[in-house]
Amino acid sequence: MAVIRDVMPAFELFQPTSVEDAQAVLNRYGADAWVLAGGLDSLDWLKDRIKRPQAVVDLGAIAALKGIRPWQGGLEIGAMTTLTEVVRHPVVREEYSILLEAAEAAASPQIRNQGTIGGNVSQDTRCWYYRAGWPCYRAGGNICYADTPEAINREHAILGADRCVAVNPSDTAPALVALDAQMVIRAADGGERVVAAEDYFVGPDINITRMTILEPGDILTAIRLPRTWAGAQFYFEKIRDRQVWDFALVSVASAMVLNGSMIERIRLAVNGVAARPLRLRAVEALVAGRPRNEATAVVAANLAIEGAQPLRFNAYKVPLMRNLVKRAIRGVEAATWTS
């Protein structure tokens, strides 16, 4: 018999106007509270009755979490800033265009008007077994249904799998890793901590039930872009099934500084291939000091896919990732891809 999911489970809705008030509600309800940003990921969970929080804390009325402002020569972006605001901001366009490209690729204009950058980086995986309520490892069970002989797993991980093969779905995440962004988190006890973007995301080897380091009661308040990579040569490309709004099969983001024709320094990240956006440190070290040419790109791309372990239906991601890394190093104009 088909499962009928037509009514959201009941919950208390709170709409605080300050971070302190939001924190108080989260502390009161603990693991039974749900943080609502733009709501695009959250409403899917609630409509399908998979998540049943006692309290939903809507951050939309907290002005302190919105807006883009100068920060130590770079920018600070409030976590509740919409993707549309990110795309339209003149300094983002001028100095951090890779983030503009990633935010623009994340969704349709209508969804970008509602979706927030904090929500985009904090959303849960889109593995259909997990999202449909199957009792997998990530949901607290003892099996990964996507990693079985009968599984449909063309969108799942080829790297970094540890029991769970779900992938991170965020488009802005690899761009933020490439920009060496800092994530500002307000902890449940009211303290603040700042972590690098690459450390904000976690894989199943660290915590199989979460995609980020956020604990119950934590709030991502802002994202900081240092001056370090402002104005660098950027490359972003997202491959998806349809050239309209869709989640990435594989994406790549790079920030590069050249000295003549030589690569002086680079940061490179890929997503859609693991449970977290992966910074390719070994590739960065390999190409630093080398010429930006086809030979360097080929060597780098081959190194990038070392250790890949494709599943039954996603072996195509291996050459796809290799080619995207090659293009990010070589700087070839992106072409139209379909899968």
Q: Is residue 200 domain-resident?
A: yes
Please tell me whether residues 109 and 174 are part of one structural domain.
yes
Q: Is 147's pLDDT higher than 50?
A: yes
Please tell me whether residues 209 and 244 are part of one structural domain.
no
Please tell me whether residues 309 and 212 are part of one structural domain.
no
Other residues' Cβ atoms within 10 Å of the Cβ of residue 261:
9
Please tell me whether residues 302 and 209 are part of one structural domain.
no
Please tell me whether residues 222 and 237 are part of one structural domain.
no
Please tell me whether residues 190 and 77 are part of one structural domain.
yes
Report the chain's mean pLDDT, rounded to a whole number: 94
Instruction: For residue 65, give the amino acid letter.
Output: L
Please tell me whether residues 238 and 316 are part of one structural domain.
yes
Q: Is 122's pLDDT higher than 80?
A: yes
Band (pLDDT 50/70/90 cuts) for residue 4 is low
Please tell me whether residues 253 and 323 are part of one structural domain.
yes
Q: Is residue 289 domain-resident?
A: yes
Give which of 151, 147, 146 is closest to 130, Cα–Cα: 146
User: What pLDDT, in 10s, does the model give residues 193-241?
Assistant: 999 999 999 999 999 999 999 999 999 999 999 999 999 999 999 999 9
Both tokens of 126, joined, read: 């889109």
Q: How many structural domains does the chain have?
A: 2
Strands 192-196 and 182-186 come out as antiparallel
Q: Are 108 and 244 in contact (CB under 8 A)?
A: yes
Domain encompassing residue 268: 231-330
Please tell me whether residues 260 and 299 are part of one structural domain.
yes
Band (pLDDT 50/70/90 cuts) for residue 92 is very high
Q: Is residue 51 domain-resident?
A: no
Q: Is 332's pLDDT higher than 70?
A: no
Q: What does the pLDDT read at residue 337?
A: 36
- Rounded CA-CA distance 312/1 in Å is 29
- Rounded CA-CA distance 149/152 in Å is 9
- Rounded CA-CA distance 86/198 in Å is 20
Band (pLDDT 50/70/90 cuts) for residue 27 is very high
Q: Is residue 217 domain-resident?
A: yes
What is the signed CA dihedral for 150, 156, 160, 163, rounded to 10 degrees? -40
Domain boundary among 228, 247, 275: 228
Band (pLDDT 50/70/90 cuts) for residue 1 is very low
Please tell me whether residues 81 and 216 are part of one structural domain.
yes
Domain boundary among 213, 228, 243: 228
Both tokens of 124, joined, read: 């849960």
User: What pLDDT, in 10s, does the model give residues 47-58?
Assistant: 888 889 999 999
Q: What is the pTM of this model?
A: 0.94
Please tell me whether residues 324 and 178 are part of one structural domain.
no
Domain boundary among 209, 228, 247: 228
Both tokens of 208, joined, read: 């199989």
